[in-house]
Structure 1
Amino acid sequence: MKHSHSHLWPGVPLALSSALLFGASAPFAKLLLGSVPPQLLAGVLYLGAGAGLAIVHGGRAALGIPAPEAPLRRHDLPWLAAVVLFGGFAGPLLLMLGLAHTSAASGSLLLNLEGLATMLIAWMVFRENVDRRLITGAFAILAGAAVVSWRGEGVRLDAGAALIAAACVAWGIDNNLTRKLSSVDPVVTAAVKGLAAGSVNVALALLLGAHVPPLATLGMAAFVGFLGVGVSLVLFMLALRHLGAARTGAYFSLAPFIGALIAVTLLGEPVTAQLIAAGLLMGVGLWLHLAERHEHEHLHKAMEHEHVHVHDAHHQHEHEGRVTEPHSHRHSHEPLRHSHPHYPDLHHQHNHT
């Protein structure tokens, strides 16, 4: 069967758009740290994301705009709780604490470790297919992170860098667990995650005596959170459907370049030789990921699941009456063997020898 569009579409543009928004949020968060304590800022960013997406979802329903996405089910709740814990609570808190002890440019580039952590966990724990090109690209990204941490006597991670690295591991776990939820409505999932994680962080910050900044500052933080966390997460979840966790994490590695560029231009941080070398290495790694083409004959086993879809090569089932596309319902897949470029998406979970 022929496929009418590139295997890069729409997964790669979705992942890169997610990276653009998240990368831009890091230097703006750094600016806000001057007037908002780290844990309170982490909470407000996620509350802004959750509240903004809740408004989007409510407006969608109020305006009668159809939402063909699959709803959250009871069996999704344990995965959602784990995602909130690792990605909504631990990750942003560790990042804010780390940014408070390092420069925004270095912090933004170190965020590349999230893509590496995501890929390693996807490969080693969830057995997602990772080829030689992807591994080579990951080592290039790791080398770039090592260069940006170089202090003349070897690679030395200070407290800020170590906290950012820990945040990346937490988000690597989060990204792989989020894949379990990638078939359901990403707006609802991201809204729940933002509201739950944000509420916990804000409550803890206030209990620990954090001062409350002016409403204008809180509003600015919430807006940064809506775009850089909320909308970015929705795009990331949509990319997971098409690319799998390892590759989505790899494309997401563009985020630190965006953050570093904004930090240099907006905050006036210096452009050092280390920054340039790290950027080149990370750019090579990103290019290797973008140039990947995975194609072979493969077998789709019989399966049954629920997600939004159109009647393409992988969805050839019957309906009673007239239906509109895209739509979502529980449906079955018959065994199918064919060959085309693909990624480990919802329908390509086969083994490789």
Structure 2
Amino acid sequence: MHARHNAAFTALLAAALFGATTPLAKTLLGSVSPFMVAGLFYLGSGVGLAIAILVRRLLQTAGKRKNESRIQKEEIPWLLGAIIAGGIAGPALLMLGVSLIAAATSSLLLNLEGALTAVLAWVVFRENVDVQTFLGMVSIVAGGVLLSWQSDNGSVAPGALLVAAACAAWAIDNNLTRKVSTNDAMVIACLKGLIAGSVNLAIALLLGAHLPRFSMTATAMFTGFAGYGVSLVLFIVALRNLGSARTGAYFSVAPIFGIVLSLFIWPEPPSMNFWIAAALMAVGIWLHVRERHQHTHTHESLAHNHPHKHDEHHQHAHDFEWGGIEPHTHPHRHTAITHSHAHFPDIHHRHNH
């Protein structure tokens, strides 16, 4: 279970970084257009990760660079779909929604991303689901509905609908990104940042917006590097080890970090609906954290390339000199094996039930 705990921590750290960006975006939206903020956030993530990749390559030996996992042609449509949904549509919808509702409310509504990610993973991509995880997602969705409802006129707040639409876009993104998660997480996140940032920035400029002063631009780009770039790298690593639904569930704690920060910036007491919704979402997250899945399953023969250790799923010889360093990356093949242990739908456990 040690590997699972590491994967869970990775997802939670990604959530913390992302959750903090929502109230920070709210501070920028008073003078900067939503598309400009989204563009600067993603462009900052892409540029920052590009610099990190360059530094990493300069420090790597030629042998390590040779064994790096490269995106295959058949994976490109999945990656482009993820960029369009999560890098272009998602952030623009979020920024529009955040500009219309309170930062704490928008932060808590982001829990819907985990629920929608799980629904797509279960219905479309056939990840396994049990009663406990299903009830957890029902609790999270109930909290989101309660939070969105405007009791004074019996309708759903437009800003809340926009944030919910952003969550749906990111849910599509998460499931499509899972398809390419064996590749270099930094490269995937960098490509998404550069492409999505450029598109959102171009839209903002075409709509008449102007780049803010240098200090604000730099702040937005650095925030995007941490909250979108580094967070996305960690999220992709978690996808690789936990699957879409479980990673989405852990990522659902992101609003908690956003709420704490937003209430610190704008110290207004939230409504009773806010606290009830928070309790419902907390119950949903708790149910997911308690999940344990174990049964006899068969691994089909599989060849791929990703960072790994020589655990029970990676018992293979090397055709090159290896100094025992783990984790390490190289193309390798898994032989068919049948066994039973606690597992999640990571890249080695995407089997039918």
Q: Which TM-score tier does this pair reach, normalised by the shorter chain?
A: over 0.9
For 1:3-14, list aligned pairs within 5 A: 5-6=1-2, 8-14=4-10
**Partner of 1:341 in structure 2?**
342
Q: Which letter does structure 1 place at the counterpart of 2:72?
A: R
Give the TM-score taking structure 2 as reference length. 0.95
1:305 Cα shift? 1.7
Length, aligned pairs only: 348
**Partner of 1:249 in structure 2?**
248
**Partner of 2:265 in structure 1?**
266
**Partner of 2:351 in structure 1?**
350
Q: 1:283 to 1:69 in 2, by over 3 A?
A: farther
Residue 211 of structure 1 aligns to a residue whose secondary structure is: coil
Q: 1:137 to 1:69 in 2, by over 3 A?
A: farther
Contact 2:149 2:157 (C-alpha < 8 Å) held by counterparts? no
Contact 2:150 2:156 (C-alpha < 8 Å) held by counterparts? no
Contact 1:7 1:342 (C-alpha < 8 Å) held by counterparts? no
Instruction: Confirm or deny that 1:74 pairs with 2:73.
Output: yes
For 1:146-157, list aligned pairs within 5 A: 146-152=145-151, 156-157=155-156
For 1:210-229, list aligned pairs within 5 A: 210-229=209-228
Residue 5 of structure 2 aligns to a residue whose secondary structure is: coil
1:269 Cα shift? 3.2
Residue 339 of structure 2 aligns to a residue whose secondary structure is: strand
For 1:1-353, list aligned pairs within 5 A: 5-6=1-2, 8-64=4-60, 66=64, 69-152=68-151, 156-323=155-322, 324-352=325-353
Q: 1:59 to 1:343 in 2, by over 3 A?
A: same
Deviates more, 1:54-63 or 1:236-245: 54-63
Cα RMSD of the aligned pairs, angstroms, is 1.5
Residue 105 of structure 1 aligns to a residue whose secondary structure is: helix
Q: Deviations over 1:162-188 (max 9, x none)?
A: 111111100000000000111000001
Q: Which letter does structure 1 place at the counterpart of 2:345?
A: P
* Unaligned residue ranges in structure 1 (runs of 5+): none
Distance 2:319 2:17 in 1: 42
Distance 1:154 1:243 in 2: 42
Contact 1:148 1:278 (C-alpha < 8 Å) held by counterparts? yes
1:114 Cα shift? 0.6
1:261 Cα shift? 1.6
Distance 2:205 2:162 in 1: 22
Residue 347 of structure 1 aligns to a residue whose secondary structure is: coil
Q: Deviations over 1:231-265 (max 9, x none)?
A: 00000000001110011011110011111121111
* Unaligned residue ranges in structure 2 (runs of 5+): none
Distance 1:92 1:69 in 2: 30
Q: Which letter does structure 2 place at the counterpart of 1:162?
A: L
1:311 Cα shift? 1.5
Distance 1:110 1:156 in 2: 16
Contact 1:147 1:155 (C-alpha < 8 Å) held by counterparts? no
1:111 Cα shift? 0.7
Contact 1:115 1:246 (C-alpha < 8 Å) held by counterparts? yes
Distance 1:99 1:340 in 2: 43
Q: Deviations over 1:128-183 (max 9, x none)?
A: 11111110000110111122123326863221111111111000000000001110
Distance 2:349 2:337 in 1: 11
Distance 1:154 1:70 in 2: 54
Contact 1:48 1:194 (C-alpha < 8 Å) held by counterparts? yes
Distance 2:335 2:319 in 1: 19
Deviates more, 1:30-39 or 1:315-324: 315-324
Give the TM-score taking structure 1 as reference length. 0.95
Distance 1:257 1:106 in 2: 11
Distance 1:155 1:148 in 2: 13
Q: Which letter does structure 1 place at the counterpart of 2:58?
A: A
Distance 2:210 2:130 in 1: 49
